[in-house]
Amino acid sequence: IGSFFQERPVLKNPFLEDALLRGYLRRHLPQEAPFSDLCAFGERVANEVDDWGRECEVTPPRLVHFDPWGRRVDHIVTSPAWKRMKDLSAQEGLVAIGYERSFGEWSRVYQMSKLYIFSPSSGLYTCPLAMTDGAAKVIQSIGVSWPVDEAYGRLTTRQPERFWTSGQWMTERQGGSDVASGTETVAVPQTDGSYKLHGFKWFTSATDADMTLTLARAQDRTGATTPGSRGLSLFYGEVSRDEDGRLKGIEVQRLKDKLGTRQMPTAELLLDGLPAHRLSEEGKGVASIANMLTITRIHNSTSAAAAMRRVVQLARDYATRRTAFGKLLKDHPLHMQTLARMEVETRGAFLLVMDVCRLLGREENGMATQLDAHLLRLLTPVAKLYTGKQAVAVVSEGLESFGGQGYIEDTGLPGLLRDAQVLSIWEGTTNVLSLDVLRSVARSSGMVLHAYFTHAKSLLAGASNVSSLAPAVKAVDGALSELEDFVQIAATRAPGYLELAA
Ligand code: MFK
Ligand code: FAD
């Protein structure tokens, strides 16, 4: 059988191992305080949480429809590790940090840095956290008052026993991208001003959530609804049980059998009179849930950059342990060139994501200039679509750098690739987000592009002594002078946006 056994790659403290993250924070954050928290959390991730993430993967959720006596219960049974992730998330303030704002405009950078360390070890718990953060943001933007004041407190608490997660139920069978025509769920008004929802939600992730934000068409007095986007409103519903243990107004049809994200339940739900409250004005559902999309898309980008970073970290470590052709992989220039290319992609993704987080933090702390606001609107979909695609490419390359072991399930490596594949699909596919970019250009009459090129120009000016950047300076100048043409192109490529721009 032989006496040689390969040493496995070792996950070390992902904060201490990440010189770029530490350098970025040191350069930008005014206080040193989050360093000790990030360092301690990184230690916990490497020594404790990563094993829980693995436990979530090998003990996926299952659906129990009936109790032993035949009563319908629809219990989604999750692993103990998944439940520990919930408590940990509250204790570590993984949502709360964004709302406590102890670090002012840098609070989002701090929060996302923590999630970036956590994400690849989280057993996909970053998914409910993204939606929870998005729901808190929507509530905050609408106003923290009844009926969502209690929910807001629970979404943003650090107390595990109070902490709630939220779902985001948008997708129906007919349309996930085109929710305006795809949404059939109706909201029937009740005499007390609340509603009951009836419909079918085709994808609902982390369905063990305590509440949800969802879209539906409110019926008028005659029972009629308005088609299209103008008929959609935003609703808040709690996921609760009656005294017999049955879900109130919900039946869990089945759990999806997925390529990846297997750690987390994604269910098909029949809404059969789910009690709900309308949060938006009638017909303003999509615009109101846009705040949630902004937050979840930033989380998605953070997870994408984190997946790249994790595979690079492990591949670098492995290169110091694996020998081929008489020397360690780290001493093979060609192998190191491959790792270097992955590193460059990872750095690009990280810096793009952190800049979006910086802009979000400025906006939330009332410090955003007009330029910042335009950049945030433009770069959120750009970052999501770019990092989502790159994550698949970099993680795939990363698996290859372990040779055959990269393909072996219980190394934990294949799961990284499976989970990366979803990042370009949910929260808006690449093409749908590229249309969102055009929407932002057309709607702002090109101001978002003007902001982008002005920003690029000022960054390039700071590096004017680097001669290799001269073509970039020329390109940016050219783009600024041809802005009108860009706006026309944006308007004509995205059907219907020309009228909006006008
Ligand atoms: C690890 C991290 C993971 C994260 C968690 C993942 C869990 C999985 C969760 C999901 O996948 S949830 C489902 C996510 N679904 C999507 O992302 C839907 C993708 N489709 C789009 O984004 C479409 O572009 C959209 C549904 C928004 C198009 O809808 P409409 O109704 O055809 O759009 P329309 O009429 O252009 O815009 C309606 C309003 O919304 C307009 O405002 P007004 O009413 O005030 O005029 C738009 O300006 C506004 N709007 C649309 N997109 C916006 C936006 N505002 C700001 N930002 C945006 N991105
Ligand atoms: P479609 O909209 O049918 O898209 C199919 C293809 O057409 C895509 O390639 C798309 O890019 C392209 N396309 C669509 N419109 C255009 C256009 N105008 N121009 C060019 N190309 C276009 N949704 C939720 O609401 N809540 C959840 O919790 C949730 N969890 C999910 C979990 C998982 C694991 C997955 C895979 C999905 C989840 N989703 C969830 C659904 C997800 O958001 C949608 O699948 C996604 O938005 C795409 O919608 P669709 O599946 O209807 O695809």
SS3 sequence of 25-71: HHHHCCCCCHHHHHHHHHHHHHHHHHHHHHHHHHCCCEEEEECCCCC
CB 35 within 8 A of CB 18: no
Residue at 393 is within a domain: no
| Per-residue confidence (pLDDT) for residue 490, from 0 to 100 | 66
Q: Which residue range(s) make up the domain with 262?
A: 166-284
In the prediction, which pLDDT does 172 show? 98
- The answer to whether residue 502 scores a pLDDT higher than 50 is no
Could you please report the per-residue DSSP string of 111-178? Answer: HHHHHHHHGGGTTTTHHHHHHHHHHHHHHHHH-S-TTSHHHHHHHT-S-TTT---EEEE--BTTBSS-
pLDDT of residue 500: 46
487 belongs to a structural domain = yes
The answer to whether position 331 is within a domain reads no
For residue 269, tell me if it sits in a domain.
Answer: yes
Give the span between the Cα atoms of 121 and 49, in whole angstroms.
6
The last residue of a domain, from among 267, 284, 301: 284
For the four alpha carbons of 62, 68, 73 and 79, in that order, the dihedral sign comes to negative
Mutate to test the pocket of ligand 2, among 207, 213, 421, 432 (most ligand atoms within 8 A of CB): 432
- The Cα 145–Cα 139 span in angstroms is 9
- Confidence grade of residue 480 (pLDDT, cut at 50, 70, 90): confident
The answer to whether residue 161 scores a pLDDT higher than 90 is: yes
Nearest to 134 by CA among 288, 268, 265, 261: 288
pLDDT greater than 70 at residue 182: yes
Integer Cα distance of 152 and 273 in angstroms: 24
Taking residues 451-473, report their average pLDDT: 84
Q: What share of the chain is helix, strand, coil (3-state, %, to 5)?
A: 55, 15, 30
pLDDT of residue 283: 96
The count of domains in the chain is: 2
pLDDT at 42 (0 to 100): 98
pLDDT band at 169 (very low <50, low <70, confident <90, very high): very high
pLDDT at 180 over 70: yes
Give residue 171's Cα distance to chain centre: 16
* CA of 425, nearest ligand number: 2
Instruction: Tell me, using a 6 A CB cutoff, whether residue 422 lines ligand 2.
Output: yes
| pLDDT at 265 exceeding the cut of 90 | yes
Q: Kindly state the tokens that stand for 360.
A: 């979000």
Spatial contact of 164 and 132, defined as CB atoms under 8 Å apart: yes
Band (445; pLDDT cuts 50, 70, 90): confident
Can you give the pLDDT at residue 498? 41
Partners of 89 in the beta sheet? none
Domain boundary, last residue among 284, 303, 330: 284
Kindly state if the Cβ of 177 falls inside 6 Å of ligand 1: yes
Q: How many Å lie between the centroid of ligand 1 and the Cα of residue 286?
A: 6
Indicate the top mutation candidate among 215, 226, 293 to test ligand 1's pocket, ranked by most ligand atoms within 8 A of CB: 293
Contact 130, 300 (CB under 8 A): yes
Q: Ligand 2, closest atom to CA 167? A: 28
- Residue 501 near residue 445 (C-beta atoms within 8 A): yes
Q: What is the pLDDT of residue 493?
A: 65
Are 53 and 81 in contact by the 8 Å Cβ rule? The answer is: yes
Read off the CATH number of the domain in which 232 is found.
Answer: 2.40.110.20
DSSP helix/strand/coil, 88: helix
Question: 427 C-alpha to center of ligand 2: Å?
Answer: 7
CA separation for the pair 42, 249 (Å, rounded)? 41
Contact 342, 397 (CB under 8 A): yes
Check pocket membership of 138 for ligand 1, CB cut-off 6 A.
Answer: no
Is the beta carbon of 156 within 6 A of some atom in ligand 1?
A: no
User: Is 437 inside a domain boundary?
Assistant: yes
- The stretch 84-108 carries a mean pLDDT of 97
Query: Is residue 499 predicted with pLDDT exceeding 60?
Result: no
Three-state DSSP class for 362? helix
Instruction: Determine how β-strand 232-238 pairs with β-strand 211-218.
Output: antiparallel
CA of 407 to the centre of ligand 1 (A): 36
Say how far apart CA 358 and CA 231 lie, in whole Å: 35
Q: Whose CA is nearest to atom 17 of ligand 2?
A: 432
For ligand 2, the distance from its centroid to the CA atom of residue 201, given in whole angstroms, is: 13
Look at residues 262, 284, 306 and tell me which one is the last residue of a structural domain.
284
| pLDDT one-digit tens code per residue, 105-156 | 999 999 999 999 999 999 999 999 999 999 999 999 999 899 999 999 999 9
Confidence class for position 479, pLDDT limits 50, 70, 90: confident
Minimum CA distance residue for ligand 2 atom 10: 429
Find out whether the beta carbon of 229 lies less than 6 Å from any atom of ligand 1: yes
Give the chain's mean pLDDT.
94
C-alpha 349 to ligand 1 mean position (Å): 23
In angstroms, the CA 180 to CA 144 distance is: 27
Report whether residue 127 contacts ligand 1, using a CB cutoff of 6 Å.
yes
Assess if residue 211 is contained within a domain. Answer: yes
Q: Which residue has the higher pLDDT, 82 or 497?
A: 82
The DSSP bridge partners found for residue 278 are 235
If one residue of 76, 133, 170, 177 were mutated to test the ligand 2 pocket, choosing by the most ligand atoms within 8 A of its CB, it would be 177
Residue 501 clears pLDDT 50, i.e. is over it: no
Q: Find the largest Cα–Cα distance for the chain.
A: 80
Report helix, strand or coil for 250: strand
Main-chain dihedrals φ then ψ at residue 459, nearest 5 degrees: -65, -40
Residue 426 in this model has a pLDDT that exceeds 70: yes
Q: How far apart are CA 203 and CA 69, in angstroms?
A: 29
Ligand 2 centroid – CA 217 distance (Å): 20
Going from the Cα of 283 to the center of ligand 1, the distance in angstroms, rounded, reads 14
Q: How far is the CA of 140 from the centre of ligand 1 (A)?
A: 18
Q: Which of 429, 434, 435, 438 to mutate to test the pocket of ligand 2 (most atoms within 8 A of CB)?
A: 429
Mean pLDDT of 355-383: 96
C-beta separation of 135 from 155 below 8 A: yes
In a domain, 333, yes or no: no
Q: Is the pLDDT of residue 209 over 90?
A: yes
Say how far apart CA 214 and CA 232 lie, in whole Å.
10
ipTM over the 0.95 cut-off: yes
Task: Inform me whether the pLDDT recorded for 496 exceeds 70.
Answer: no
Q: What is the pLDDT of residue 491?
A: 64
* 453 found inside a domain: yes
Q: Is residue 244 helix, strand or coil?
A: coil
Q: Which two tokens stand for residue 345?
A: 């992609």
SS3 for 92-110, per residue? CCCCHHHHHCCCHHHHHHH
